[in-house]
Amino acid sequence: MATTDEIYDSSPQTIREHVIYFLVRNGMFVDDAEKVFEIYKQEDDGCMKERWDDKMCGYPPQFEAAIMLGIKRIVLEYIEEHMPKAWFRPMFE
């Protein structure tokens, strides 16, 4: 599990770190954010397999938008199953 210091490190983030930071910044605890990311990663059809540790800054903004659409869907499913009264649900709708 990542520490809070690692999540808020200002160095260039990998795609994985960027997604987890997005989830934490919007209300999730780090451990839940990491679980959501692992679920999302498992749904990958292989096109991202070797890219999760790439630096996010190496991709255009449209790439981030596409990643966030997918992660939001997974987050809402996770919230519904594990924490249906989460105060941060609207952050992902």
What lies within 8 Å, CB to CB, of 41 at 6+ separation is 16, 48, 52
pLDDT by position in tens, the chain (length 93): 666 555 555 566 899 999 999 999 999 999 999 999 999 999 877 788 888 999 998 899 899 999 999 999 999 999 999 999 999 999 999
Residue ranges per structural domain of the chain? 12-92
Which pTM was predicted? 0.83
User: What is the C-alpha separation between 84 and 81, in angstroms, rounded?
Assistant: 7
The b/e string for 68-91 (b: 16+ C-beta within 10 A; e otherwise) is eeebbebbeebbeeeeeebeebee
